[in-house]
A and B are shown apart, each in its own frame.
Chain A
């Protein structure tokens, strides 16, 4: 899988799923994100890259309003999901998060069984009417996360007993189980070894066929391997956003070039 082989995305063919414009984030008096405008396309993997503290994770967490849980955080600007402002007063963040799934940096399965981990989301959202429905959702989700074959015989075993890579795929299965439209991944491979990373990356490529995937990563190679669109953040600014191939081969901004060639960050 090489970035160079990835077909150039025709932006006109895919409609934007999420349209962010003029997003500002403040943590107390700290202006963490400055005027970011991005369109996240449907059925596309979008990578956010940039040095630590550049605001890429902050922006990711704005997309499903996880920043609401940080007391000092204040978000301005507009983020539209399918044309509806997710920061509108009428929006319930709980409902929003069922439609925008999230996978975190450190695998964080619940200390429950594998089955319960995946079934938790569908249960609280009432997605399954019968036990058979739920079984099916769990199986489908685990299959989508490429974990089914490894755990089908021990669904009642604790999720925390899996290896790191398996745990992360379990978290992906859990996120997929509620049937989200967008999947946000915050450095999903940073705690994994290269083999598990390769598995998760292959998985991301499959997930892209169904969902819009947004991934924050520190590894530029990973961004190049899995994404079609890349956004480069630096010091709270969105410096450059474009096709992955173009960003890595022909960056328009000198800061992007410095970063991808390893001179800053």
Chain B
């Protein structure tokens, strides 16, 4: 036996000074602490970079350039019959309204004393969006009594003009651009100085459908948001009951044997299957075999349900497992049946976990684009689907797919749109996660 009373070989003489070994250990701890902080900092930096880049690119899509005009609605052009009947007035197409707005713009420029001699008439009216006449036509058809009057009208400016006000289009870039010339931009600058032209909140970004390549200024998220909403409804209605029922059976009722083991392993595997594979499955099963329509929220909802189910089942089983067995014993001990034990005691206690899992699954489904590409939701959808249930079968878009589509387009104005759509998507995701947290808190306080 060694003589322990001799003490540790490296023992310091004083308590106040650390020996070499202790210093090394402390240094190692400090180093590790630094590595950890560095790792967290990298994560935070990435997040900040993401937010700055998306917000920087996308926030401007919530504002849009408009030109304030006094439009004279000439009765001789717009209502030849003279009876103010919208049915008759529909014969006048947007071309007719385009001429009226063009005239109003020329008049407005002359009134403000802006020199447009360098521009042709066509170049002047090119400052307006093709969307502007359509809006004026809708306004007049909704209220025929306006015909014959001179009304104020905020005409949507073209994408290049909008880009000039937002700094995307410059004199240099205009020199190389076939769609806009530096002379046009000088007129735009003068209009801006006269206050004819300004940026304002852009509600049509949330209400309009997608627009063609040539009209980024009128492209909106309306159809995509509605399509996503329809799909989320389908996913929630299908995946929550199916997922919870499956989890309860597997966790509480099923015998533990080889079959349930195989099912269990495969559910875990399904959660890891790439999303695009679900898209191929949906294409083969729902569209080719079952004959459901392409681009429809019902197909999107079904494929996202299949994708969300494993997530919900895994989360629900974890929540059920976390309920202490003593609660089950207590309920069975007073003579509750298995069903009563589950529905009176276990499920309410597992609810916060189930809800959290479900909402996180939904959030994942909301942001998923790959399977939707394969079932035709990339189609250009111009019209709103009707109200459910009919609307579930009609073509619609979805938020992530809309982002994907816009990033594919050549006009840089769509970069702004895509970033704006990402902001909207992120807001929805944050709202859903916040709901999950709130619900969990609420339930936890109750139990």
A residues with CB within 8 A of B: 64, 66, 69, 71, 94-98, 101-104, 106, 108-111, 120-121, 124-125, 171, 174-175, 177-178
Contact = CB atoms under 8 A, between A and B. Distances in A.
A97 B256 contact: no
B335 A69 contact: no
From A66, A98, A110, A125, name the one whose CB has the most chain B CB atoms within 10 angstroms: A110
A27 B339 CA distance: 25
B330 interface: yes
A96 B333 CA distance: 10
Contacts, number: 64
Contacts of B330: 104, 108-110, 171, 174
Interface stretch (B9-17, B178-186, B321-329): B321-329
Contacts of A111: 327, 349, 447
Given A66-B333, A69-B328, A101-B334, 18 more contacts: A66-B329, A71-B255, A97-B332, A97-B333, A97-B334, A98-B334, A101-B333, A104-B326, A104-B333, A108-B327, A109-B330, A111-B327, A121-B336, A124-B335, A124-B340, A125-B335, A174-B330, A174-B334
Q: Which 3 A-B pairs have the closest CB atoms?
A: A98-B335, A108-B326, A121-B334
Interface string B346-379: 0001000000000000000000000000000000
Nearest to B340: A124
B332 A69 contact: yes
A60 to B, nearest CB: 11
A226 B345 CA distance: 33
B337 interface: yes
Nearest to B336: A124
Given A104-B326, A108-B327, A110-B345, A120 B334 contact: yes
9 contacts: A69-B328, A96-B335, A102-B329, A103-B333, A120-B331, A121-B336, A174-B334, A175-B333, A178-B334
A66 B333 CA distance: 8
A94 B333 contact: no
Contacts of A171: 330
B331 A110 contact: yes
A111 B337 CA distance: 18
A124 B330 CA distance: 14
Contacts of B332: 66, 69, 97
Nearest to A65: B332
A243 B120 CA distance: 117
A120 B255 contact: no
B441 interface: no
A258 B255 CA distance: 42
Contacts of A97: 332-335
Contacts of B344: 120, 124
B447 A175 contact: no
A94 B349 contact: no
Nearest to B337: A94
Contact of B327 (A69, A110, A175, A178): A110
Contacts of A98: 334-335
A49 B344 CA distance: 35
Given A104-B330, A110-B327, A71 B256 contact: yes
A14 B398 CA distance: 77
A34 to B, nearest CB: 25
B345 to A, nearest CB: 6
B336 A108 contact: no
A139 B326 CA distance: 25
Contacts of B327: 108, 110-111
Contacts of A69: 328-329, 332
Nearest to B330: A108
Contacts of B329: 66, 69, 102, 104, 108
